[in-house]
Every structure is written in C-alpha cells, then in structure tokens.
Amino acid sequence: MKGIVRIKQAVEITGLSRSSIYSKVRKTSPYFDSTFPTLVQLGARSVGFYQSELENWMANLRKAV
C-alpha cells in the first residue's frame, strides 16, 4: 500500500473534479459509483483515499474501455 492521499492528490490522479469525486462516493447522489474507492476518515474534518485503491480503480476503468 502506497499510503493515503488527500482530495487534491485524488483530483490529480483521477482527473476528476472535487465535486465529481464527492458525487461518486455519496450514496444518495445520482452519480454514485460503488466501484469508486471509499473515503478514509483522517480526522474530524479531513478525509483521504488509499492511493493504491485509486490507482487500481483507474486501471480497471482503462480495461473496461
């Protein structure tokens, strides 16, 4: 596992906007994506993602295309 990245790095890795990422993880959103990596709670007001999960998600996305 490569570690945890914050939202800014997740934007850079995925090429998605902040709002698109949050829409993909919010279960009530019409854009919810159950295959997208789940958030990791880092503190009361901070979240991140496991970098390896983001990279795996991107790799699987490329395979599907």
Nearest-angstrom CA–CA distance, 53 and 3: 10
Tell me the backbone φ, ψ of residue 47, rounded to 5 degrees: -135, 165
Residues 11-36 pLDDT 10s: 999 999 999 999 999 999 999 999 99
Q: Are 47 and 41 in contact (CB under 8 A)?
A: yes
Tell me the backbone φ, ψ of residue 57, rounded to 5 degrees: -60, -45
Average pLDDT, the chain: 93
What is this structure's pTM? 0.86
Q: Which of 57-62's residues contact partners 24+ apart within 8 Å by CB, and which partners? A: 57/14, 58/13, 58/14, 60/35
Delimit the domains of the chain by residue range: 4-64
64 versus 41: the higher-pLDDT residue is 41
Q: Are 54 and 10 in contact (CB under 8 A)?
A: yes
Band (pLDDT 50/70/90 cuts) for residue 49 is very high
pLDDT for 1 equals 53
